[in-house]
Chain A
Amino acid sequence: MKNREVILSTRSLGKYFYAPIKFKVLDGISFEAYKGEFLTLVGKSGSGKSTLLYCLSTMDTSYEGELFINNEIITGRKINELAALRNRSIGFIFQFHYLLPEFTCLKNVMIPALKLGKYSYKEVEERAYNKLEILGIKDQALKPAAKLSGGQQQRVAIARALINDPAIIMCDEPTGNLDSKNSQIVFDIFKQIAHEFGQTIIAVTHDNDFSRNSDRTIELADGKIISHGKKLNDVF
């Protein structure tokens, strides 16, 4: 790959679940994610791939080992610092869109940028329109978020994840609720984000088409990385 600049890395990350019994869900996870890389995390249900994503997301802080973003250690930072870091450098896309139903699509996209406070309200509005245009839903901007179709809602959620131009975009089953047509749209957008804008995508998925077409796939089983993989071959 052209650009080998490391954006995120872990050093022997481990995590336990305590209920119902003590159980090691992640064990010695060490990997690196590069700038502009479209990375997917796969594995069977219970392999720990989602748990790993939430540790990487800085929202889950109860792990052992170390996490680095932009070559800075993240482990052990204060919760408020982590919130500010997420606001600045990480975008999130989930299986469910999690849009705020009282607000218009435009406002939903604007909220993280207004929180960041780097741009004026007018500029933020302009940027939000811009992002919605990239995702092809500019015409829906002023509708309430609840009035859109599932595919459109997911695209608004993607626009929200992109608004602050984060270095990393983390996705948990981003196409899990979408039909194949919308899945393809989302996939193409991700490719574009990674390759044209140089943002890193880390996506948890069990959509084989999706992972097969990504730049790299890391496979987990029983809390361990079993393949840092180039290309994952079709399991079936």
Chain B
Amino acid sequence: MRKSINTDIAFTHIITRKRQTFVAALGVTIGVGVYLFMNSLSSGFGTFSKGEMFKNSPHIKIYKNDELSQPLISSRDSGHTTVIINPQITTNSKKIINPEQLLSRIKQQPYVVNAIAQVSFDAFYNRGKAQLRGNGYGVDILEYDAMFKTGKYIVAGNLNRLTGNLNGIIIGSGIAEKLNLGINDNITVTSSYNVVKVMKIVGIYSSGNSLTDNAKSYMNLSAAQQFIKEGPSYVSDIFVNVPDPDNSEKYAAMLQQLTAYKVEDWKTTNADVLATEKTRGTLMGAISLSILVVAAFGIYNILSSTIAQKINDIAILKATGFAGKDVIRIFLMEALIMGFIGTLMGLMVGSVLIAIMSTIYMGGPVGYFPIHFEPALFAKSTVLGLFITLCAGYFPARKAAKVDPVEIFRK
């Protein structure tokens, strides 16, 4: 257990100057604590809002995209004429051909968590003269629940009553309220293809989003297919969930190999939300990082004054054979000890703030503030705290290493 003499000197300085060490460490404590807390806030909220997004939209969506006619048919050789036409949408139907086969092939992929088919149409909900506009969705409700956790938001009835019930429908709480309908009541649904059906309400959900609650209803696939006068092979979208939504573009590329239809991941669909998210993250990062930098100045100050006071000691150390790099090591070590103590206390302060924040009730679908202890953020705060103290310590330490002993001794 041979402790290096450099370490020995550094520790002695730290121990004999407890107050300065503590003050310097306190700066880092505040910096690291605030950094950890703010980034946990931002990350917790980001995770929450991403979860909100996945309530309605899948990780990957497969649908038939509009096809445009070729604007230019170029001639094969100079003897023929080039035909120019206005580009036009040439898609007649949004139908996915042979959806069962595609769906089963997608389900066979090892990286697919679950995949479902959906039929969507424009619906009108009527009761007497009152009419509401909305969207109807034909889904296998149990698979749909596995993907979007719809069951969580059911406030009356239950999901199971929809299975096998071609006449059943689950409506949003907004529709129920506006049309004054309750569970087991009948509702008249009309589609834009002028198909009219009277359906029985088997469930009512409330997602907390009024846009959804006022418009969306769920029924069986075949019921929806009837509304748009299509056969059982008609499907408008296929939804796929993957294990790691942050890498959805990778899985989307793999799925695109299986089909000619458009495969779109949630990042493309929600580019605006993601950009907002990123902006907020950067903002929080910048603010908390500047606090950390300010904290580093504490270390810089304390170390600079220590070095100014110890200039005689540095001179004699250099005279007795300590090289510049030894002097740098001694003072960097002191900075690191201060930084280490400060970072440790900062992590504790941050944890306390996170714990307090997580007990604050925000109300609505959010519940308690979505903030968690994230090991990755703790690691990041530690590394940053130590890195910044190292930087703050380096400049005074380098100054110490450059002390010219002759100048000191000749005074």
Contacts and interface: CB of A to CB of B under 8 A. Distances in A.
Interface of A: 50, 54, 57, 59-60, 79-80, 83-88, 92, 94, 96, 98-103, 111-112, 114-116, 120-121, 160, 172
A210 B162 CA distance: 112
Interface in B316-336: 316-326
A59 B319 contact: yes
B405 interface: yes
Contacts of B404: 59
Contact of A102 (B5, B12, B315): B12
A83 B321 contact: yes
A100 B319 CA distance: 13
Contact of B321 (A86, A98, A101, A102): A86
A88 B321 contact: yes
17 contacts: A50-B410, A54-B406, A54-B409, A59-B319, A60-B406, A80-B323, A83-B321, A84-B321, A87-B320, A88-B321, A94-B409, A98-B313, A99-B316, A100-B9, A111-B320, A115-B320, A120-B2
A77 to B, nearest CB: 12
Nearest to B6: A115
Interface in B362-411: 404-406, 409-410
B316 A83 contact: no
B256 interface: no
Contacts of A84: 321, 323
A103 B12 contact: yes
Given A54-B410, A80-B324, A115-B322, A98 B316 contact: yes
Interface residues of B, number: 26
Contacts of A115: 5, 320-322, 326
A213 to B, nearest CB: 25
Contacts of B315: 98
Given A83-B324, A92-B316, A98-B315, 10 more contacts: A59-B405, A60-B406, A79-B323, A86-B319, A98-B312, A101-B313, A103-B12, A111-B5, A115-B320, A172-B409
B12 A57 contact: no
Given A121-B2, A172-B409, A86 B12 contact: no
B325 A116 contact: no
Chain B interface mostly helix, strand, loop or mixed? Answer: helix
Contacts of A116: 321
The 8 closest A-B pairs by CB, nearest first: A87-B321, A114-B5, A98-B316, A83-B323, A112-B320, A102-B16, A80-B323, A54-B406
B66 interface: no
A234 B261 CA distance: 110
B333 to A, nearest CB: 15
Contacts of B316: 92, 98-100
Contacts of A83: 318, 321-324
B13 interface: yes
Nearest to A62: B406
B404 to A, nearest CB: 8
A112 B9 CA distance: 12
A88 B313 CA distance: 19
B100 interface: no
B230 interface: no
Contacts of A59: 318-319, 404-406
B6 to A, nearest CB: 9
A113 B410 CA distance: 25
Contacts of B410: 50, 54
A160 B316 CA distance: 11
A102 B17 CA distance: 10
Contacts of B12: 102-103
A63 B35 CA distance: 53
Contacts of B313: 98, 100-101
Nearest to B324: A79
B382 to A, nearest CB: 29
Most buried by B among A50, A85, A86: A86
A163 to B, nearest CB: 9
A146 to B, nearest CB: 11
A92 B320 contact: yes
B10 to A, nearest CB: 11
B67 interface: no
A112 B324 contact: no
A39 B325 CA distance: 33
A104 B280 CA distance: 55
Interface string B10-34: 0011001000000000000000000
Nearest to A111: B5
B247 to A, nearest CB: 50
B177 interface: no
A86 B320 contact: yes
Given A54-B406, A60-B406, A160 B8 contact: no
A19 B50 CA distance: 69
Nearest to A113: B5
A98 B311 CA distance: 10
A54 B315 CA distance: 13
A43 to B, nearest CB: 15
Nearest to A54: B406
A112 B316 CA distance: 10
A114 B404 CA distance: 22
Contacts of A50: 410
A156 to B, nearest CB: 12
Contacts of B8: 114
Given A54-B406, A94-B409, A121-B2, A102 B13 contact: yes
A171 to B, nearest CB: 11
A8 to B, nearest CB: 17
B331 to A, nearest CB: 14
Given A54-B410, A57-B319, A80 B16 contact: no
B406 A160 contact: no
Contacts of A60: 406
Contacts of A114: 5, 8
